A and B are shown apart, each in its own frame.
Chain A
């Protein structure tokens, strides 16, 4: 693999610039959040070239951004943020990715590690059995043909209306789990066929359920507002997306955009960056379909949340009120959104692509739940399976520099094939169990590909995001049980 040999200017310890002059055609510079060590890894793959390629897209403003968990993706790098002017810019399905609204949510509980640990094996089995997971898993929900349209429009609200979860869950979900501007007619028959049987399934790959305990609290005042009260407190995490429905929407519209580019005379350095003007019929159709897929993903996480609560209460012998199980927050990390931001002193309406990046709005922003108005938006950064996860809060600096965005996870460092060369699924299982983590996985081979060794250390990723000021550390959790598809 060719190592990056282009120019890279050091701005400060955590910021690096790819000058606009790196390649003719770049409309803005690239800006990378990383420290010196991370940068060495990043330079070994093609991620920086991808950051430069994204800077070619019409209407891009500010910088083509890379969060500290950046790694080589397809088209856009994973960990990329790009904002385009709505009046003169483009939307690119490749800037969202195939798993539209892949995201993560965290629930708090009133229980402590000592109460849960003795039953952890039973709990991980109950979670595994109660939440359909793995390749080819079908959900417990049978959607009628017409019903799927309702899911695509209402998202989490559809789930709550059908008995999956609590009305207050909607308050603490990004976009209330129901992003506006949908049009189910823009979602193909193929996408519906894939989506109908899969609602309420975890899927496979890096998706998981996790039982975790709080191991450090950095900002006790903020943590308390979130319901994170003490070290040892048990939390529950859910990480998944829009399943086959989202993949098909991405697939359908990438092809559509390849055609549209000729029509609008747009040229891009990588076909996976295919795009169309935000205001064009193709751009509007994609955004409407993408929002449908996003709502499907929110409904999916909402249904799963209900089964996680069910399993937890049954094993722990608690009522829901007793157990707590309030949803702290739900974030998406693969999406394009129309947002208002300040660009060179002017308010502008932008189409912000976050591909493997999380929204990070500060205290006082109108789009975050009222109960968090004073502390900022909670941001959830799942680590890999064997290590820790973080809860962060959004900052003003993110608003100024990154269109209110930060990192989304650990970020891959080794390819899946390379990960398997180093460790087998059984090794990973044993290593995790030796660390006191109970594991249930659909596939041992899949487990090896998700080994900690394949990822950057999430502690490093978060440290850079925190020190650069684009989000603020609030608390850290450590897994005690993991369910993988």
Chain B
């Protein structure tokens, strides 16, 4: 498949790693930000989609929702060692997000872990609801 539009791009930061994620919709941008985050952790081509988790988050603004969405996925990775690569956003409305995330458990024989993500941060965090573009810097 040829992808004409970039899902995300890394941005330079001295100590940490940041990215800008794009989408045709805001939901797609949230999904692509999550995809970008997991691609910091490992090579996603080698990840299968044998497990799924339903995620539901409710916050008070778009920025808070992005922060918590990504950090909830970091939490799932930390506790269950789940690496996700597909993010089906079922609902993104009124600062509520519902999604089904698919991936698999980390398997050291097939996955090489590149870099740990401690957390998404609020530093320079941006949500552009018109351009469907989000920016986030991770503490790694």
Contacts and interface: CB of A to CB of B under 8 A. Distances in A.
Contacts of A45: 14
From B12, B64, B122, residue with most partner A Cβ within 10 Å: B122
Interface in A180-205: 190, 193-194, 198, 203-205
A390 to B, nearest CB: 21
A15 interface: no
A445 B119 contact: no
Given A135-B41, A255-B67, A259-B60, A270 B123 contact: yes
Given A72-B14, A136-B113, A247 B118 contact: yes
23 contacts: A72-B13, A73-B16, A74-B137, A75-B122, A75-B123, A78-B15, A94-B121, A97-B139, A99-B118, A135-B115, A193-B79, A194-B75, A203-B116, A247-B74, A254-B67, A270-B123, A274-B122, A416-B16, A416-B140, A418-B12, A443-B113, A443-B114, A485-B116
A98 B140 CA distance: 10
B14 A247 contact: no
Interface in B101-134: 106, 112-116, 118-119, 121-125
Contacts of B59: 255
Given A250-B119, A412-B14, A134 B113 contact: yes
A272 B18 CA distance: 14
A413 interface: yes
A1 interface: yes
Contact of A136 (B64, B68, B106): B106
Interface of A: 1, 45, 47, 71-75, 78, 94, 97-99, 134-136, 190, 193-194, 198, 203-205, 244, 247-248, 250-251, 254-255, 258-259, 270-272, 274, 412-418, 442-443, 445-446, 449, 485
Given A75-B123, A271-B122, A443 B12 contact: no
Contacts of A446: 114-115
Contacts of A78: 15
Secondary structure of the B side of the interface?
A: loop
Contact of B13 (A271, A413, A415): A415
Interface residues of B, number: 36
B46 to A, nearest CB: 14
Contact of A71 (B15, B106, B119): B15
B115 A98 contact: no
Nearest to A446: B115
Contact of A251 (B10, B41, B119, B137): B119
B98 interface: no
